[in-house]
Amino acid sequence: MEQSDQSTRLWGGRFSAGPSPEMVALSLSVHFDWRLAKYDLQGSRAHARVLKAAGLLDDVELDRMLTALDDLEKDVASGSFVGTEADEDVHTALERGLIERLGALGGKLRAGRSRNDQVATDLRLYLRDNVRSIVRELITLQQALLAKAEEYRDVVAPGMTHLQHAQPILFAHQLLAHVHAFARDVDRLRDWDRRAAVSPLGAGALAGSSLALDPVAVAAELGFDRPADNSIDAVSDRDYVAEFLFTAALIGVHLSRIGEEVVLWNTTEFGWVSLHDSWATGSSIMPQKKNPDIGELARGKSGRFVGNLMSLLTTLKALPLAYDRDLQEDKECTFDSVEQLLMLLPAVSGMIATMTVNTDAVSRGAGAGHALATDVAEWLVRQGIPFRDAHEISGAAVAACDERGCELYDLSAADLAAIDSRLTSDVLSVLTVDGALAARSTHGGTAPSSVLAQIDGIKASIAAQRAFIDPA
């Protein structure tokens, strides 16, 4: 790698020699922090106006500088201006581009700010922007699940714990359970944004500036709620990055869970769903294969999101105040989590939106595996029998079914009475899947009436989420 050119560096006055090639290679970040270019230019425009208000630029200089920054942004967007290895980082590259357009005037923009407060500002702007894109994709995924739940609203299914048949549920109820998890992810991101809406610009290297700058005005122009109250904290704080990476990791875990379920449902053994050809892959050797790769990749990438969180937390551990070069390591893990989520979420949404539910296969086992045993026990409780005893009686009925190789609903009134005299013929009224579903009509239950109410609540929740990304 070539040695960095002195004219492009933002430092060097007290150095008699340039950095070694090894130092340059270790310091280089422009190949990944170029993602921050448009945000750095956004901050530069705000900073230029503050310099003008402080009397450090006149009207003509400000106009020339803003025009040059706009032209530079167009060139960055088109790819005609890019950072180079000689630039070291995005901030150096963009100052070079500004000086190429303005000469000495371009150097005035550096007054009153440091790469320390620049990068902290850029990363907040980048994350706040991209979090809204992530929320938009999470809403799309929730809508896909909601639409599928409404389409198959009356389909019964075996609800499972420990992947064993537990109690009958509506299949829609299980799909909607995933919606609630993703809705909480959106809530976390909205709450995160409140804490991330703090502008570090004006903190300088760590102590603020002796120039008559206006951090409040800068914060307002950049869409922040307020400026940072402590300049040391402003340049060293990466809590907002760690919080984002935690939420990204949890989104990854939620995507992994639904990915695992689709993988299971798509097996020959389950046969619950069929994936659209556009959202599955084949085998290079086995012509019959149709693989649920999106579900598998959702599982796999969860480890990547968790790893990015662990990487940052390990970097932050025991860092002394204020800024330390270790913080260069905050960006690649952040960029990766953002970009992976924005790639993965649309794929999972598409897989869900286009899959077909094989209703007969789903419903076939709804009452199997003695899934009505709890209903028997609760019927006994309504007869005044303590649940401890009711549990034992119902368990005895299950044991009798195991001996006979049948299900609870196959037992006759005489069979039930032979097991325990308290199992009168009236118990037959709860030994149906439809009866078991209808009985669970409390808030949040799986009864058709409760699921309808749940659907209405989810629609209201999604409307509120939309207000975050599309404010009136």
Distance CA 469, CA 465 (A): 7
- Kindly state the helix (H) or strand (E) to which residue 166 belongs, with its residue range: strand 164-170
Residue 445 in 3-state DSSP? coil
Contact 111, 118 (CB under 8 A): no
Asked whether residue 5 carries a pLDDT value surpassing 90, the answer given is no
Distance CA 73, CA 20 (A): 31
H/E run at residue 31: helix 30-33
pLDDT of residue 469: 93
What is the bridge-based pairing of β-strands 356-357 and 273-274?
A: antiparallel
- The rounded radius of gyration (Å) of the Cα atoms in the chain is 30
Task: State yes or no: pLDDT of 434 exceeds 50.
Answer: yes
What pTM was estimated for this model as a whole? 0.93
If you average pLDDT over residues 369-386, what whole number do you get? Answer: 95
Q: Which two tokens stand for residue 419?
A: 């097991």
Residue 179: strand, helix, or coil = helix
Q: What pLDDT score was predicted for residue 21?
A: 84
Question: What is the rounded distance in angstroms from the CA atom of residue 323 to the CA atom of residue 395?
Answer: 64
Look at residue 3 and tell me whether its pLDDT is greater than 60: no
Please provide the size of the chain in residues.
472
Question: What is the pLDDT averaged over residues 71-85?
Answer: 96
Structure tokens at 88: 């070291």
* Residue 425 scores a pLDDT above 70: yes
Q: Which residue has the tokens 């989810």?
A: 458
Q: Strand, coil or helix: what is 291?
A: strand
Residue closest to 456 by CA, chosen among 155, 153, 132, 191:
153
For tokens 């992976």, the residue is 340
Domains of the chain in sequence order = 21-111 (1.10.275.10), 116-156+169-211+232-363 (1.20.200.10), 373-431 (1.10.40.30)
Q: Cα–Cα distance between 21 and 180 in angstroms, integer?
A: 52
pLDDT band, residue 23 (cuts 50/70/90): confident
Please give the Cα distance from 262 to 270 (Å, whole number): 10
Compute the distance between CA of residue 431 and CA of residue 433 in angstroms, rounded to an integer: 7
Closest alpha carbon to 275 in 290, 260, 285: 290
Q: CA dihedral defined by 405, 407, 410, 416, rounded to 10 degrees?
A: 90
Residue of 20, 31, 276, 283 with catalytic role? 283
Q: What is the pLDDT of residue 198?
A: 98
DSSP structure class, residue 281: B
What integer is the mean pLDDT of 378-387? Answer: 96
Active site includes 283?
yes
Is the pLDDT confidence value at 6 over 80? Answer: no
Helix (H, G, I), strand (E, B) or coil at 398: helix
- Is the N-terminal amide bond of 17 cis, ω within 30° of 0? no
Cα separations in angstroms, 269 against 50, 265, 266, 364 = 66, 8, 8, 13
Q: Does residue 138 surpass a pLDDT of 70? A: yes
Token reading at 142: 């929730």
> Has 441 been annotated as catalytic?
no
User: Which secondary-structure segment (H or E) carries 119?
Assistant: helix 115-151
User: Who has greater pLDDT, 464 or 15?
Assistant: 464
Query: Which tens digit of pLDDT belongs to each residue from 33-68?
Result: 999 999 999 999 999 999 999 999 999 999 999 999
User: What is the predicted pLDDT for the residue at 358?
Assistant: 97
Residue 447 pLDDT exceeds 50: yes
